[in-house]
Structure 1
């Protein structure tokens, strides 16, 4: 599946579930320390997954409702499953491209488990100190003006916890 930057921007604005690996301070506020990790993350993906850089897309600015920013986006695919990856200063955001996100496949969960481990590995090799990433899962609410439901899990996060919280988020989305 080929996704255009315009489609990616619309998807980022209206995703049913957003998965973020982001740095947070002790108060839960984002820390901008992730820009240097992206080249290594997208260079060597697992198994038959590949990344295609899409350029910059318009994204929500989580700190200022109603505002947008431009961020680099990637289409990640294994031929059967496509994910949109968006580079933010605070971490990486992953969004399922297919409309039927209500069913989180084993393939998607396995890739997200790998991506979580890979993100932590890449960040541990950066030349400057970084804050350990947290797992953040956002599910938009029916009221577009209401903030999303956020599941925030600080480190460490096991593979089983990641899968459990992803399934919980999908269940919230279906309600």
Structure 2
């Protein structure tokens, strides 16, 4: 049996800089019609940038949660950019580093129950200083953290950001960083 849903109509309730809010009328398997709310989000990237035994994290205030969050560098894919180009730009803007090698390590959906946001995860190595001007609406504090401390920071709730946690565990599974 096909359990997919067929979209019958879409009403756009809001259009924003990085997301739109849709209410879709869908037909369920068996023919019943219902509505689904969906956030249509611009694609994004997040980068695990490691230098020696340290990882670069950024601390910034996130309005939606009303708190400062410690996370890996990340950003929205701009029009005309590939995710790889965005990753290269974002680490220069956020941590003032350029990577000799950027490798895609996977893709994740952040909240597929209501959003189509996809984040492309990257591993950055061969870092050297290189700064691009930061976005004028971002206020970021860069923190270089020993990799040996990130697991306890996750366990203790210091790092709560989902993309950061997934990217770090993925890198540990791939053997690029040690899991303690």
Name the TM-score, length of structure 1 as normaliser. 0.27
Higher-helix-fraction structure: 1
Comparing both chains, which one has the higher relative contact order based on Cα–Cα distances under 8 Å and sequence gaps of 6 or more? 1
Name the TM-score, length of structure 2 as normaliser. 0.27
